[in-house]
Amino acid sequence: MKMRSLVIDALYLNWALPAGSVPPAPPPLRYQERQGVDEHGTEGRFVFASALLFRNRGVHFRNAPFLRLSYPQLNLRLYVVDGDGVPSVLFRDMMLPRWVQPAVALAARHPVSTARFDFPEPSLDPGGESWRWVVDQGKRLEVVARRGSGLPGAGPSLGSWDDTVRFFRERPRGYVETGGKLHRIETEHPRVTVWPLTAEVTDGSLLAELLPLAGGAGWPALHSAWLCPEIPFVFDLHLVPRLELETALPTPAASTRSCARSMRRPARWPTGRAAL
């Protein structure tokens, strides 16, 4: 049973986090670490995290296109390699508006957390001086961004700007850990437009709530940021076989033309073919 939508104004916010600051990845996953220097000039090993803020437009079943939902969303993800050596994503959390949660849970069996959203529409205002995104769950993520050079900030270099975008985006598998098991999502990545951005997190208190770093460390400055004005999105509503985790493991801490805090309740994630 396939569902389709169009993802609008997908904002990618990327960070390089000290490797020892995040909980271990659940085997067989392992973080895709890189050597680099942080914003204070300290050299070390880093792992990468992203927050994706976007709008789902016209979510519908392929055989019932007249029944459609549109809503904003945030997901938080970490970047890993799986047991087959495939670059993948480990989802930490998904946030939706409260009004859409029952529909998503009924249709896709997605237990999610809820928040209030205030998102701009840069694709309708490409000449805008700047834009502001807010996700509010008591704690907030507030971001101001504008069109920029696209040069990465603090943390390891991933090569050219196109190489950096490909590192974060071109990952054919996603994983979520629930109930001591891993669920896998198969994804696709069609070529889409990317706008390099200069972005600033003006309130990041929600990040520390979703993924606390070891020793109470604060989240660093952004490594890189960009916006994809439009991304096709298709996914299948059926489950893949679960991957058993080893016992007693700690719980784990979503080209210039190419473009979920752990889950609090047991989740059943579908397979999918997605452009995110």
Domains and CATH numbers, the chain: 2-244 (2.40.400)
CA–CA gap between residue 92 and residue 263 (Å, rounded):
7
Which residues of the chain fall short of a pLDDT of 70? 1-5, 58-68, 103-111, 233-276
CA distance to 1, 127, 249, 262, per residue, from 212 (Å): 37, 36, 18, 11
pLDDT tens digits, one per residue of 194-230: 999 999 999 999 999 999 999 888 999 999 999 999 9
